[in-house]
Amino acid sequence: MATAEEVLSTTYARFMKNWTFIQSLRQVAEVALPIATKELLGQNAALVEAMSKDTDYKKIVVMKDGSETEWSDAVKQIFRIGMTDLSIANFTAAIDGASIVFAQSVLDDCALSFLRVCALAAPKDWDQFINERKVDFTTVREKDSDAIREDLLNAKIEQMGQESLRKKIGMLFALCPPPSGFDPVGHYKFDQDRIDKIDNLRQSIIHHEGMGRQMTGVDGDLQYVLKTVHFLISLVHAKHGVKIDMSTMFPAAATAQASSGA
């Protein structure tokens, strides 16, 4: 069975890998956007020019008074720029939407994994949450109390995996209440309402009509998620003293260091 430190270390390594993915997505998009805009303007210019020479379009695209479109240079420019702006807006919305969905998923995964860390570090802390669970007589007869607690804990953790992010974090606070004056992350204050807002935004994107919607403040939300993960790690560390093994994050470097005898 993995130790609390091993679970914390592998969770943080996974978090950093996934967070780098989100950062790369946004960085490449930012660099590519001016190039894509220029290329799209050229493509759309050619498309609009072809449209202007197609007699069928004169019947489909008409002026306000119903007359055929004259396809002047001004009209062509409106089409060219409008089509390009729409493509860029859709692309930006897709990047922002994907970033929020990924970030919320990363935070949810971390919250659940930190609960596993707590269960490994101090299983008796969970007794108040599993006391009401039923155990069949055969289990009582064949297993000792520690083994039964472990089974109940595993079932409880599995159940928490189906719960909302709010409930996962709430359970983490119940197990690891912040010490007096606890302030481990600079310029950060835990705000459940803000977490809920990000979580609801993710649900809107996936389950409702949020896909393609223009969003604001995405970079700020991502930074808040990043700091929240580190805040929650600090909660677990403050309660249980569990640390991150950096060799888990950089196994190749750790192996090379070990081989060199350093």
Q: Where are the domains of the chain?
A: 4-250
Strand partners, 62: 68
Q: What is the pLDDT of residues 99-119, one digit of tens each?
A: 999 999 999 999 999 999 999
> What are 68's strand-pairing partners?
62
Find out whether 172 and 232 touch, Cβ atoms under 8 Å. yes
Residue 60 CA to residue 58 CA, distance in Å, equals: 6
81/134: higher pLDDT: 81
Percent over 70 (pLDDT), the chain: 82
If DSSP codes are grouped into helix, strand and coil, which group holds residue 1? coil
Specify the range with the lowest mean pLDDT, choosing from 55-59, 70-74, 116-120: 55-59
pLDDT at 62: 66
* Exposure string for 126-145, b = 16+ CB within 10 A, e = fewer: beeebeeeeeeeeeeeeeee
d(C-alpha 60, C-alpha 62), whole Å: 6
The SS3 call for residue 159 is helix
| 107 neighbors 226 (Cβ within 8 angstroms) | no
pLDDT over 80 at 141, yes or no = no
What's the pTM? 0.85
Does 18 or 127 have the greater pLDDT score? Answer: 18
Of 74-78, 98-102, 104-108, 247-251, which range is least confident? 247-251
The answer to whether residues 254 and 136 touch, using CB atoms and an 8 Å cutoff, is no
Instruction: Check pLDDT > 60 for residue 42.
Output: yes
State residue 119's pLDDT score. Answer: 95
Residue 175 has pLDDT above 90, yes or no: yes
Average confidence score pLDDT of the chain? 86
